[in-house]
Amino acid sequence: MKNNKATFSKYLVSGVAALALTAGMATGASAAENGKFRVGIVTFLSGAAAGPFGVPSANAAKVLVEALNKGELPAPYDKMGINGVEIEAVIIDEAGGATKQVEEYRNLVQRQKVDAVIGYVSSGDCLAIAPVAEELKTFTIAYDCGTPRLFADNADAQYMFRTGLDASVDNIGAVRYLAATRPDVTRLSGIQQNYSWGQDSWADFTAAAAKLLPESEIVEEQFPKIYQGQYGAEISALSVKRPEIVHSSFWGGDMEALVLQANARGLLEDATGLLTCGEASFATYKDQAPNGMIIGARGPFGAFAPDNALNTWFKGAYTAAYDLDPVYPATKMAQAILGLKFAAENAGVADKEIPTAEQLASGIKGATFESVSGTVEMARANGHQAMQGITYGEYHYEDDKASIVNKVSFSGECVTPPEGVSAAEWIAEGFPGAQCN
């Protein structure tokens, strides 16, 4: 809504900036020996995922890189650049599918000669990149994609890391939130985008609900096509089954359209919406989402990030640059960049030396580092996968101001399967070993 106020000159400036970036990329191919720490940043700059995920992520990367190069971050990241070396970011578009992304990745590594790659919103892209990262022996951080298969399919990964959480955590956390705040709900329903993300999310949610809310039943499930935009029939089908909860893993424009249409038709008054990615549109709902709608941020990110020195600095810097609060994809990008800086400075190399990919990997594998979202433990997938807690809360809009109330947090050990156990097995066995406060 705020975007409607944007002026043509703003877009002109953006266009000129994009051209400048493109020109920089074009001349950067021969700059591998320029002494800078070159990082490939891959996220959606076009297509439907650009607005909700890619642009906030790219913006976060720009804020972080600029501030790190000036040594403006709070401790323990107050050293200039990465290990004293100036950072040069090469930001490219994730759009185009997995095959194109593999080509782009090879280009980044072999022609642009990046020292590390951070990227990937799409799980399909993550799965395609992981074996190539191993082949090219390039230190790579998956910052957002949620597929649990990333390390299940690449169990011997040496160079691939993920500083965000996998999708199972979202849905186990969502059910735990319901069990904690609405233990008497019995009529559950769901609407998911009809591809692996939506189907996997629903499978995890329903399996967890069967264990944690044993009296509940699934009264309706809908799987419309991704980017469909119009959900009239699906909302009717859900409405007539009178659910108490409507779970959705929708994201981006689809999620915003669903909330708008379902709220206008009273579905979200009669039932409580539960959106696992809901925080990404926190700033845009305004009075078009009902108070009490449950939203998540796929971890302690965005509006759920804690009040620590790093996050306070990040929120201030991001808001100053873009006049918007950072949403969860922005926080996740910031976390990945801090993870890279930590890896480099924990690699045991001399000051102002660029570590090798192997040294970067050893610097972060199984480590614990501080981030904008709190403490991150690389405690799963042989030290390659982050483990953190997750928080859910209820959207509340009053006096033209949005907030999140009734927040409940669950520790990483409460929502993450133990090492070597898949989420499906862990849920089916009733969450053995879960440590919930």
Partner 1 sequence: MTSLLAVLIDGSIYASWLFLVAAGLTVIYGVMRILNMAHGSFYAIGAYSAASLVGWYFNNGIGPAWISYLLLVGAALVAGLIVGVIVERGLLRLMYGRDEILMVIITYALLLILEDTMKIVWGVSPYFAYQPYTELGRTAFGLLKVSNYDLALVGVSAVLGLGLWAWLERTNQGKVLRAVIHDREIAVAMGVNVRLMFTITFVLGTTLGALAGALTAPAISVVPGIGIEVIVLAFAVVVIGGLGSIGGAAVGALLVGLSRAAAVHYAPEFELFVIYGVMSLVLAFRPEGLFGRTMARKI
Q: Choose between 54 and 339: whose C-beta lies nearer to partner 1.
A: 54
- Local structure of residue 279 (DSSP, 8 states): G
Which tokens hold the place of 138?
């390039």
Q: Choose between 50 and 178: whose C-beta lies nearer to partner 1.
A: 50
Strand partners, 398: 401
Q: Choose between 191 and 360: whose C-beta lies nearer to partner 1.
A: 191
Q: How far is the CB of 293 from partner 1 (least distance, A)?
A: 16
- Spatial CA neighbour of 278 closest among 308, 307, 306, 258: 258
Q: How far is the CB of 147 from partner 1 (least distance, A)?
A: 22
Distance of alpha carbon 218 from alpha carbon 221, whole angstroms? 7
Q: How far is the CB of 269 from partner 1 (least distance, A)?
A: 9
Q: How far is the CB of 371 from partner 1 (least distance, A)?
A: 26
- Spatial CA neighbour of 248 closest among 203, 328, 192, 206: 192
Distance of alpha carbon 90 from alpha carbon 405, whole angstroms? 39
Q: How far from 150 is each of 57, 127, 355, CA to CA, in Å?
A: 21, 6, 25
Q: Choose between 163 and 284: whose C-beta lies nearer to partner 1.
A: 284
Q: How far is the CB of 219 from partner 1 (least distance, A)?
A: 13
Q: Choose between 249 and 261: whose C-beta lies nearer to partner 1.
A: 261
- Count Cβ atoms within 10 A of the Cβ of residue 350 and give its class: 0-12 exposed, 13-18 middle, 19 or more buried: exposed
Q: Choose between 49 and 354: whose C-beta lies nearer to partner 1.
A: 49
The interaxial angle of helices 123-136 and 196-212, nearest 10 deg, is 110
Distance of alpha carbon 398 from alpha carbon 349, whole angstroms? 52
Q: How far is the CB of 337 from partner 1 (least distance, A)?
A: 22
Where along the sequence are the contacts to partner 1 (CB under 8 A)? 1, 3-6, 8, 11, 14-15, 45-48, 50-52, 54-55, 194, 221-225, 227-230, 232-234, 236-237, 239-240, 242, 252-254, 256-257, 260-261, 264-267, 284, 288
Strands 368-371 and 187-191: unpaired
